[in-house]
Amino acid sequence: MVKNLSVNLCGVQLDNPVIPASGTFGFGEEMAKVYDLDVLGSISIKGTTRDARFGNPTPRIAECSSGMINAVGLQNPGIDAVIAHELPQLRKVFHKPIIANISGFSIEEYQECCAKIDGQEQVEIIEVNVSCPNVHNGGMAFGTQPESAAAVTRAVKEVTTKPVFIKLSPNVTDIVSIARACEEAGADGVTLINTMLGMRIDIARRRPVIANKMGGFSGRAIFPVAVRMVYQVAQACHIPIIGCGGVASAEDVVEMMMAGASAVQVGAENLRNPFACKEIIEQLPDVMERLGIERLSDIIGAVK
């Protein structure tokens, strides 16, 4: 029997739940040379800010035994260039719903970028990254406190018509309180988790490996943390979750969905294996057959 891999995110129907995570797939154009992107459920495009950003100084990548640390620093061409060039180019090679990932350093910047991207036909979901430093509050990330995460959520919802998912940082004491604050402020969904904070030291040179000293730790090592946080938020909130963090196999997708995710993003694994998302999608029916699953949507939040 043909397995049903489709899922629904706030009225947006996806053929399957597998989505390349923002920052690990660029704007899709390069990956279209590797395989047919239309096998994907959706794509979360590279994080976009109001102004073009070169990013942090190099080196800004450090390998780890079960993952990687990055401090790329939101390198992107800016919202206007993304709308004028990147989205039209992506539409030529990808014909399914697109998730636009928006970052900002002030509430006004989040509002401006989200209002602009909301008007783009190609974009069906807006993903708001609240892990950026709030320049008006001493550099503390918006997503580290319920009040500031809720403030961004409310501001963005005022200027948008499409579903808004808030992407949450795991570098907090209580992710549930932040997710609840976003839900109460009007978020249509949440994405979790973003990268953890990590560091590597070059012991021969006695200095940090990356120029920024610390960066976002991602990869297979953080998967159990991501599953735990998805489960906790799913038990406490009533909005859909896109789960991410260390996903590297079809079994991981099923586990993440059983914890409460309605869809799943694949991040660092794309950098290790460019075919990761395609292979996971191809393997899902066999895993479903083995586990007696007919429809993936039936297992969302199966673990209570």
Tell me the pLDDT tens digit for each residue of 172-207: 999 999 999 999 999 999 999 999 999 999 999 999
Residue 63, in any domain of the structure: no
Query: Which range among 69-73, 98-102, 131-135 shows the weakest confidence by mean pLDDT?
Result: 131-135
- What average pLDDT does the chain have? 95
**181 in a structural domain:** yes
Task: Please tell me what DSSP assigns to residue 1.
Answer: -
Domain assignment present for residue 68? The answer is no
Domains held by the chain: number: 1
Looking at the domain assignment, is residue 210 inside a domain? Answer: no
Asked if pLDDT for residue 132 goes beyond 80, the answer is no
237 is catalytic: no
For residue 88, CA distances in Å to 45, 84, 98, 225, 230 come to 13, 7, 11, 36, 33
Model confidence over 199-246: pLDDT tens digits?
999 999 999 999 999 999 999 999 999 999 999 999 999 999 999 999
Query: 282 pLDDT exceeds 80?
Result: yes
Distances (CA, A) of 107 to 61, 67, 73, 190: 29, 32, 19, 18
Position with higher pLDDT, 55 vs 125: 125
Indicate the length of the chain as a whole number. 304
**Please, where are the H alpha helices in the chain?**
79-81, 87-93, 107-118, 146-158, 175-184, 223-236, 250-259, 268-272, 276-291
Confidence of residue 139 (pLDDT cuts 50, 70, 90): low
Residue 8 host element (H or E) = strand 7-9
Which residues lie below 8 Å from residue 100, measured CB to CB, with a gap of 6+?
Answer: 44, 45, 48, 82, 117, 120, 123, 125, 126, 127
- Report pLDDT for 145: 94
Cα(150)–Cα(296) distance, integer angstroms: 31
Domain that holds residue 27: 7-57+74-198+221-297
- Residue 192 confidence (pLDDT): 96
Residue-wise pLDDT tens digits, 48-93: 999 999 989 999 999 998 999 999 999 999 999 999 999 999 999 9
215 part of a folded domain: no
Model confidence over 5-53: pLDDT tens digits?
Answer: 999 999 999 999 999 999 999 999 999 999 999 999 999 999 999 999 9
CATH number, domain with residue 39: 3.20.20.70
Distance CA 85, CA 92 (A): 11
User: Which residues, listed in sequence order, are joined to residue 217 by a DSSP beta bridge?
Assistant: 69, 196
Task: Catalytic residue, from 113, 114, 132, 237: name it.
Answer: 132
Residue 35 in domain: yes
Determine, yes or no, domain membership for 248.
Answer: yes
Q: Is residue 62 part of a domain?
A: no
Does the pLDDT of residue 138 top 70, yes or no? no
pLDDT at 291 over 70: yes
Residue 120 has pLDDT above 70, yes or no: yes
